[in-house]
Amino acid sequence: MRILFLHIFLIATLFTFAQNDSVELQFHRINENIEYGYKKPKFFDLFTNIPKNYVDLGKGLTKKKNLAWVGLAVATTAVLIPPDQDLIMHAQDISSTVDLSQTHTYGNIALGIDYPTNSAALFYHFGHGNVSLLFASGFLATGLIKKDYRAIHTSIEIGESILTLGVMTQGLKRVFGRQSPHRATVDGGEWNFFPNLGEYMRNTSNFDAMPSGHMATLISTVTVISNNYPEIRWIKPLGYSMAALMGFEMMNSGVHWASDYPIGFLIGYSVATVSVNRRITKHDSTPTSSNKNKLQPNFFVSSLYGVPVYGIRAEF
């Protein structure tokens, strides 16, 4: 939380020095045909866009193409729940062969800021909000030095996504009330839907497995960065590899079940996409021609001397 407030303070400081910039729209070339345009950033968008994110997410659920992804996430969750206990055991067996600890160990820098001191804690930390805000601070510094609107927006979007996800993931955890693996009293953990809020606060790990907030946070950060910088092709492979390592480690250490991840992935990706798309003006200069011939294949059934004939013809 201290890191979040520090990040917000730095953003506010940035805008204090950047208000005299007269450029209203900056363009960044993505490839030979596409440019992304960014308006001058507004500091309070970090907060005022959060309600808009929920509204846009709600509207997005009504679109057919998005319903397919929601259905996939729900179906994957349903498929993973039955073997969850076995998957945890397999993850721990594999970890023992590669000497991956089930315990997270940390050191302390200052102001209550921890840093991982073993590989298990490092992988787990990939989805920690402080790590995402560290990336955001890097983009913020770049924006301050270069007066780069894209970098500033990326920084703001990471913070905005974390704040938006905080409400969503915590709300869903209080709906599902699923036991974490290390607290499970039955295979796959008990589901205590809508647990008592006081009991939830006193015994959080007994109710907060579903969905994974760490997965949502990491995926949202990767999505924000990759969607703003699509010309950098290695961002997604690196980010998803980090998510895979973190997901495996959290199963090994008994923090999450495999089935906690699909919903976390979905909401992390969705929130970030909504936040990014709101700020980008896309210019596509791909040449088109009204006289360009289009090949349109059409199947047909006909008859030749009483014998059925099947074929395909192309229309221009």
Average pLDDT over residues 267-278: 95
What distance in Å separates the CA atoms of residue 276 and residue 45, rounded to the nearest whole number?
Answer: 12
Residue 21 has pLDDT above 60, yes or no: no
Length of the chain: 316
Residue 314 has pLDDT above 90, yes or no: no
Residue 174: half-sphere exposure toward Cβ, Cα within 13 Å: 12
Q: Kindly report, residue by residue over 205-239, the tens digit of the pLDDT.
A: 999 999 999 999 999 999 999 999 999 999 999 99
> Pick the residue with more confidence: 80 or 63?
80
Which residues, 6+ apart, have CB-to-CB distance to 304 below 8 Å?
A: none
Q: Tell me the average pLDDT of the chain.
A: 86
164, 271 Cβ separation under 8 angstroms: yes
- For residue 185, the 8-state DSSP code is S
> Which pLDDT belongs to residue 309?
46
Model confidence band, residue 43 (pLDDT cutoffs 50, 70, 90)? confident
Which of 182, 172, 207 minimizes the C-alpha distance to 74? Answer: 172
> Which pLDDT belongs to residue 61?
76
Which residues, 6+ apart, have CB-to-CB distance to 87 below 8 Å?
A: 80, 251, 257, 258
> Which pLDDT belongs to residue 45?
81
Structure tokens given for 93: 């067996």
pTM above 0.75, yes or no: yes
